[in-house]
Amino acid sequence: MTTLSEENYLKAIYHLEKQGNDAVSTNAIAEQIETKASSVTDMVKKLAEKELANYIKYQGVSLTERGRLTAMSVIRKHRLWETFLVNKLNFSWDEVHEIAEQLEHIKSEKLIDKLDDFLDNPTHDPHGDPIPDKHGNYTKIKSKSILDISIGSQGVLISVKDSSKAFLKYLNKNELALGDTVKIVDFEPFDESLTIETKSKTMTISKNVAENLYLSV
Amino acid sequence: MTTLSEENYLKAIYHLEKQGNDAVSTNAIAEQIETKASSVTDMVKKLAEKELANYIKYQGVSLTERGRLTAMSVIRKHRLWETFLVNKLNFSWDEVHEIAEQLEHIKSEKLIDKLDDFLDNPTHDPHGDPIPDKHGNYTKIKSKSILDISIGSQGVLISVKDSSKAFLKYLNKNELALGDTVKIVDFEPFDESLTIETKSKTMTISKNVAENLYLSV
DNA sequence: ATTAAAATTTAGATAAGACTAAAAATATAT
DNA sequence: ATATATTTTTAGTCTTATCTAAATTTTAAT
Ligand SMILES: [Mn+2]
Ligand SMILES: [Mn+2]
Ligand SMILES: [Mn+2]
Ligand SMILES: [Mn+2]
């Protein structure tokens, strides 16, 4: 049985492994989890002890198959609970992450299976992130950052890379939501900003915003 | 902010105060929480420190108003989650207690208010226990143990005193559910058993069972 | 009123998880 | 190649929540 803290480390390592290619560094984990490197070293030893991670001193960490599956299970719970909060309890998509951080640690297979059914087996959470099935499998909708899409073309807003409250609130304010069709109208080389067009309006977005918006391709 | 462990102690003290009249003893709490008396002494000091409980060495514990309100809030969450599990996720009433023991510690006012609305502001949980409102107020339906009801009279099964899995499964097996109309037909002095009658059948129940069934009066 | 039993508290240990400061290893820059 | 900077680990401390064993207080019984 994994503890709440172990689960948070596994999740962090999983997310870091998915970005960078090689073994995950102690400092990277520390930053992600907002803890100190020395605490990470301790925990990583414990995860290796439990065969949830591979760890060689000074050489970083990677998840074992068991570790990866455990991480996926926590991520599955997180995303199902977020979906519940938005779809059933009418939370806004910028309010659910913190609550899901708590709910993801509730231990009951049956609960999460029933929740999954209750939500009609959703494949993606409110931020467009894929929800793994109970075996840890998922399919991410093919998408590209707006930055990498050529001027004149268009697509449907599939997911956001940054799901921070600040970014989501920005999107709310500017009436951008998942499912919207977005057309890239213009690119300004000076500040790398983009002009985009939706059903309701035309607007300019910064590079910073653009790289966090993913369109179907 | 109260910890999970503190919340469990507050709940235990609350329930014990409601039965017995005077101050709650260290041993009683220890038994309820399945821990050692010495652990209880430690925690009770901490609760007193936080002004959640009144505590005088060797003389037992009682909740302060703040302690009582905190306990009520945890109980409110517990019962709302149980209601969610049964009414929305189709759990059976004997399966929900353990899961609610975890869910009751999730910290979010907004979550529990929205859950309350989602469930249509239920007044009683799946075991017939009253659900306090957000101010800690509730109204228990007037009821009496079957043991204290005279032969020949009848009432509606309102709540069960014992909500252990074993007892609830016994009731499932014998097709007794909340809302059923029950008539007391006979009393056998020898073993203090009772014969009762429901729409579907007539059956004999032990004293032990009878004292845990509460009928409207 | 003593004495025995039961309940409660204290003292000291342990385990998980986190932190600080110092030591050791690795990476970078000249 | 050597010195410097950065990263990582170790050693030791702290907090929360437990536990066991011993000491103390209260209660019950003679
Ligand atoms: Mn999230
Ligand atoms: Mn999400
Ligand atoms: Mn319960
Ligand atoms: Mn209940």
Taking an 8 Å cut-off on Cβ atoms, the answer to whether B108 and A102 are in contact is: yes
Q: Residue A127 is inside which H or E element, if any? A: none
Nearest CB among B91, B98, B114 relative to A90 is that of B114
Is the distance between the Cβ of A5 and the closest atom of strand D smaller than 7 Å?
no
> d(Cα B98, Cα B91) in Å, to the nearest integer?
12
Measured distance CA(A156)–CA(A92) in Å, rounded: 20
Dihedral in degrees, nearest 10, Cα atoms A120, A122, A126, A132: 140
For residue A141, give both structure tokens: 């909708």
pLDDT at res. A21: 76
How far does CA A199 lie from the centroid of its chain? 27
In DSSP notation, A12-70 reads: HHHHHHHHSSSPBPHHHHHHHHTS-HHHHHHHHHHHHHTTSEEE-TTS-EEE-HHHHHH
Of B85, B99, B118, the CB nearest to A89: B118
A99 in B contact zone (CB under 8 Å): yes
Looking at residue B140, the DSSP 8-state letter turns out to be: P
Which pLDDT tens digit goes with each residue over B109-137?
999 999 999 999 999 999 999 999 999 99
C-beta of residue B53 within 8 angstroms of C-beta of residue B47: yes
Residues in chain A: 217
The Cα–Cα gap between B100 and B79 comes to: 8
Length of chain B: 217
CATH assignment, B143-216 = 2.30.30.90
Nearest 5°: phi and psi at B193?
Answer: -80, 160
Interface of B with A in 79-98 (CB under 8 A): 85, 88-91, 95, 98
A3 touches chain B (CB under 8 A): no
Task: Say how far apart CA B27 and CA A134 lie, in whole Å.
Answer: 43
Segment B49-100, tens digit of pLDDT: 999 999 999 999 999 999 999 999 999 999 999 999 999 999 999 999 999 9
Across the A:B interface, residue pairs with CB atoms under 8 Å apart total 38
pLDDT for res A56:
97
Mutate to test the interface with B, among A87, A97, A113, A114 (most CBs of B within 10 A): A114
Separation between the CA of B133 and the C1’ of C13 (whole angstroms): 44
What Å value separates CA B68 and C1' D19? 28
A85/B111 CB distance under 8 A: yes
Q: Which nucleotide is nearest to A38 (CA to C1')?
A: D9
Task: Sketch the domain layout of chain A as residue ranges.
Answer: 4-63, 143-216
Please tell me the class of the B4-63 domain.
mainly alpha
* pLDDT tens series, chain A, 217 aa: 999 999 999 999 999 999 987 899 999 999 999 999 999 999 999 999 999 999 999 999 999 999 999 999 999 999 999 999 999 999 999 999 999 999 999 999 999 999 999 999 999 999 999 999 999 999 989 999 999 999 999 999 999 999 999 999 999 999 999 999 999 999 999 999 999 999 999 999 999 999 999 999 8
Residue A166: CB partners within 8 Å, gap ≥ 6?
none
Q: Which nucleotides of D are covered by protein (CB under 7 A)?
A: 7-12, 16-22, 25-26
Distance in angstroms (rounded) separating the CA atoms of residues A112 and A135: 13
pLDDT > 90 fraction of chain B, expressed in percent and rounded: 98
- Per-residue model confidence (pLDDT) at position A217: 82
B contact residues 115-134, partner A, Cβ 8 Å cutoff? 115, 118
Strand partners, B62: B54
| Dihedral, A47, A51, A55, A60 alpha carbons, nearest 10 | -70
CA of B60 relative to ligand 3 center, distance in Å = 25
Q: Do B126 and B99 form a contact (C-beta atoms < 8 A)?
A: no
Q: Give ∠ CA A94-B102-A165 in degrees, rounded to 5.
A: 10
- State the Cα–Cα distance between residues B23 and A23, nearest whole angstrom: 58
Q: Which of residues 30-49 of B touch A (CB under 8 A)?
A: none
The amino acid present at A196, given as its one-letter code, is I
pLDDT higher than threshold 80 for residue B10: yes
Closest-lying ligand to the alpha carbon of B97?
A: 3
Residue found by looking up tokens 């503890």 in the block: A3
Distance CA B28, CA B48 (A): 17
| pLDDT for the residue numbered B217 | 82
Q: What is the pLDDT of residue B134?
A: 94
Residues B106, A111: C-beta atoms closer than 8 Å: no
Strands (E), chain A: 53-55, 61-63, 143-145, 154-160, 181-188, 193-197, 202-205, 213-216
pLDDT at A20: 84
Can you tell me the distance from the alpha carbon of A14 to that of A61, in angstroms, rounded to the nearest whole number? Answer: 10
Amino acid at B123: T
Please state whether strand D lies within 7 Å of residue B56 at its CB atom.
no
pLDDT of B41: 98
When pLDDT is averaged across residues B149-178 and rounded to a whole number, the result is: 96
Nucleotides of C under 7 A from a protein CB: 7-12, 16-22, 25-26
Two tokens, residue B71: 């306990």
Among the bound ligands, name the one nearest to the CA of residue B98: 3
Pick from B118, B47, B115: nearest CA to B81:
B115
Structure tokens at A189: 């080389």
Are A123 and A191 within 8 A, CB to CB?
no
Q: What is the DSSP-derived secondary structure letter of residue B149? A: S
* Alpha-carbon radius of gyration of chain A: 19
**Are the C-beta atoms of residues A111 and B101 closer than 8 Å to each other?**
no
Q: What is the mean pLDDT of chain B?
A: 97
Q: Are B196 and B178 in contact (CB under 8 A)?
A: no
Counting ligands in written order, which one lies closest to the CA of residue B127? 4
- For residue B147, give every residue at least 6 positions away whose Cβ sits within 8 Å of its Cβ, in sequence order, or none: B194, B207, B210, B211
Q: Can you give the distance from the CA of residue B9 to the C1' of nucleotide D21 in angstroms?
A: 24
